[in-house]
Every structure is written in structure tokens, then in C-alpha cells.
Amino acid sequence: MPRIHLEKGELLRVFGPAALGITKGQVEVLGARYSTGEKIIVHRLRSYTVLALEETILEANLASQGTIQAADQEDPYLEWRKTAEEIIKAKPRIVMVIGQVDSGKSSVSILLSNTALNNGEKPAVIDGDVGQADIGPPGFISLSYPDSKTLWMRTLKPYAMKFIGDIKPQGHMFQIIQSIKQLINTALRDNKTPVIIDTDGWVMDTYATIYKSTLIEEIRPDHLVVIGDQLYEIYNKYSSLGIRIHKIKPPPSKRERSREDRRYLRAEKYKEYLDGGKPVRINMTKTIISGHPLFYGAPVDPELIKEVIGVKPVYATKTPDTLYMVFQEPIRNQRLDLLKNAFGVQRIRYYTAGFEKNAYAALISDTSDQPAIIEKIDFANKIIYLKTKNTINTCIIRLSRYKLTEEYHETPLEI
């Protein structure tokens, strides 16, 4: 086990998987301070800059692919640290962090949280990334109240969560903004400040710019941390609203996540929140089902459909332009088009019972939504069978756009 000697002020860059034991002295990582006898764990998908606060001796245990190197002059940690201290000293209510994918947004957010704790504040962290959710499960916007030092947002536990139902923000910008605003209000109600918002990495096209600009305009953070020159040129104009804009550099060397890495991390979060879920039976007639077009229309008597095509569906609804039906068995009926005139619709959409199995969903509440997985919908008897770890009183069940395989990988839900 190699021993590393650091002088006060010296920087070290560690790429996981690795474990660092402090034999002597004190170091800082993302604002979290570690002293003699403590250990720092670096996950295989993480990398950190270590700052020696005094003369320090470390014992390093490196697993396969773990590396340690001297931090080069381009390492921005000291700049990040100075910015975080400046922001926290100003005692802001809301701080937002914007940057590209793998630019260090989550690390900066954790640095702000740890710095706030060091200064006796009671921070809140909002994870605004539905795809690479760290605090809650994928498809959710989550709020956490850190009360001790941490290095990875994934170790924080959610206080409240709001379900978006997709792992991509595209098409959900207003729902995400509304959810973030609700969680901000929750944190401020609980006297938690600063509220630190870690946004997603969708920033490099026009619609992303519109989304982030709208988010800023709606939330009006006291401070906006922008990672990178290109984004700073776009968002610096918001200083005219009295928002303090801070430009910082991304790390020159970072642990980039591959598509498989991201898929693995999402699967781990699904497991954390869904494995061991309790079976729940819910009456559809007393609950609103949303998130899927089948459930938005007015109910249609299946007997009326049978009169036209000779086959009776187990469930049917109609919106102003579409007739939706569920059949017990796959159907091949050349007379389906007759239903358009009979019901005054432009389109016919039908499903086979079982299409909903393993659909990812949530129990919706005013305070915190809870993840669930649909096992079966008994359309004839109007009963939904699902599993969830946290049973809550709800009048809304919202389906996502996808189902989950046994390995907790996403596959499209038939829409």
C-alpha cells in the first residue's frame, strides 16, 4: 500500500476505484474535511481533487483502473473552492449550477453543500437531472437535506420527490420547472438555505438554451454558477436581473461516463427504490390513472364496440379524436375502421392486455411522489396490481413512458 506525502496546499488527483486513508494531517475534498484516521472512498466512476490543508501522509489502496496523479496547473479546484466560499458567505437563498454533461455540475453542487455545512448553514440540494438522477430514482426530481459531509450526491437520501416519468428532459421542461419550484418552496418552508439546484447536462442546442433560460427566469436564483466560457457568454446577461453570475472552469481530466456506465447507474437506482416492494391493489374507479393516452378519455361501453365489430374489448375510452381499446387477446379484425364513423373519431388505437406489465410508474401525492412498478391491470374488474416500497394515500397513479426489464433497463411502453 503506497504512502503519499503532501505538503500544505499541495493538490492530488485521484481516479477510482480507490481508497485513501489519512495517516497524518488533514485534507479537503469538495469542501469535506478529512483528518487522521479517516478514509476516503472513490468509486470507479468518480474522480476527486484532494487538497492538503496541512502536511499530510496518505495511504492509497488502488483497485484495477484506479490511479493517482499530481494535479496539474489547469486543475480548477482552488477556483471552485474560492467561488463556493464567496457564494456561501453571501448567504444566498437559491444557487443554480449549469454545465455540460460530465462537466462537474454535481461535484460543484456538493462542494457548495459541504461549504455551507462548514459555515453552519442548513443547505438543501435539488437533483434536477431526470436521466442521471443521483438522489432519487430515474425519472424523478429530488430534494435532499444534507446534514453531514459527503462526496457523491448518490449517497444523499431524498426528503421529497416529484415524478416526471421520463429519463430525458426534452418535452417536459415546464413540468420539470414546476417540480423544481415546488421543491424549492418545500426547502424554504423548512428553513433550509441555501437551496442548491444541480441541473441536467442538456445545454448544447437551442431548445436546451430556451429551457435553461426559462428555468432561470422562473426561479430567479441569487447566484448562478456556469461551467465553461461558451455557456457563460449565453447566461451572463442574467446579471441584469440582479443574479450574481460565476464562471468556473471544468476539470481538465475527468472520469467520463460511457452509455453503459449511465445505464448501470440508472439500474442501480431502480433496484434501490423498487427491489423488495410490497404488493398493492388499487381500485381504478377511485383513482386517476395518467401518463398514458388510454386513460385520459371518457369511458366507452365495450358492448357498443362489440355491436360494430363483433369482438368485445375488456376496456375502452374515447378522446375527441381517438378510440382506445384493450383486448384480452391479439386481434386482427378488418372491420376496425368501421369504429371511426360509429364513434366519430379519426384514429383507432388498441392494445393487448398485458402490455402494461412492468411499466414504471409513481404514486402521486402533494408532498413526495413514490416510485412503483405495475404488475398487472385487471381491466375487466378495474383493479391495478403494483409493487412499491413506500405505500402512500394517493388519488393519482402516473405511468412513465417506459417499462423495466428484469435487469432494470428501460424499454418503451406501448403508447
Spatial contact of 131 and 203, defined as CB atoms under 8 Å apart: no
Which pLDDT belongs to residue 390? 87
Please check the confidence at residue 229 and state whether its pLDDT lies above 70: yes
Residue type for position 412: P
Average pLDDT, the chain: 95
pLDDT band at 254 (very low <50, low <70, confident <90, very high): low
Looking up cell 479517516, which residue turns up? 38
Which pLDDT belongs to residue 277? 95
**pLDDT tens column, 142-190:** 999 999 999 999 999 999 999 999 999 999 999 999 999 999 999 999 9
Please check the confidence at residue 392 and state whether its pLDDT lies above 90: no
Q: What is the DSSP letter of 155?
A: G
Cα distances (Å, whole numbers) of residue 263 to 206, 257, 273, 406, 415:
26, 10, 16, 14, 23
Beta strand 396-404 with 359-364 is: antiparallel
Which pLDDT belongs to residue 255? 64
- State the average pLDDT over residues 63-89: 92
Which pLDDT belongs to residue 102? 87
Q: Which residues pair with 227 in a beta bridge?
A: 248
Spatial contact of 378 and 387, defined as CB atoms under 8 Å apart: no
User: pTM for the complete prediction?
Assistant: 0.95
φ and ψ of 112, to 5 deg: -65, -40
DSSP helix/strand/coil, 106: helix
CB count within 10 Å of CB 358 equals: 17
Q: Which residues pair with 298 in a beta bridge?
A: 318
pLDDT band at 81 (very low <50, low <70, confident <90, very high): very high
Q: CA 166, 169, 174 angle in degrees (round to 5)?
A: 105
Give the lowest-confidence range in 121-125, 316-320, 333-337: 333-337
Which pLDDT belongs to residue 72? 78
Q: Which residues pair with 141 in a beta bridge?
A: 162
Quickly name the fold that domain 77-256 has.
Answer: Rossmann fold (3.40.50)
φ and ψ of 312, to 5 deg: -100, 120
pLDDT band at 192 (very low <50, low <70, confident <90, very high): very high
Nearest to 236 by CA among 215, 213, 219: 213
pLDDT band at 216 (very low <50, low <70, confident <90, very high): very high
Domain regions of the chain by residue span? 3-70, 77-256, 276-415
Give the lowest-confidence range in 78-82, 195-199, 297-301, 393-397: 393-397
CB count within 10 Å of CB 319 equals: 15
Cα distances (Å, whole numbers) of residue 196 to 81, 121, 177, 213:
15, 12, 14, 17
Spatial contact of 237 and 68, defined as CB atoms under 8 Å apart: no
Residues 6+ apart with CB under 8 A from 42: 14, 15, 16, 17, 18, 19, 20, 48, 66
Which pLDDT belongs to residue 172? 95
The fraction of the chain above a pLDDT of 90, given in percent, is 90
Please check the confidence at residue 308 and state whether its pLDDT lies above 90: yes
CATH 1.10.357.10, applies to 3-70: no
d(CA 244, CA 239): 6
| Concatenated DSSP letters of 179-193 | HHHHHHHHHHHTT-B
Which pLDDT belongs to residue 331? 86
φ and ψ of 102, to 5 deg: 60, 30
Spatial contact of 103 and 255, defined as CB atoms under 8 Å apart: no
- State the average pLDDT over residues 333-360: 94
φ and ψ of 29, to 5 deg: -135, 120
Cα distances (Å, whole numbers) of residue 73 to 24, 51, 228, 252, 327:
25, 13, 17, 10, 66
Which pLDDT belongs to residue 252? 77
- State the average pLDDT over residues 264-283: 95
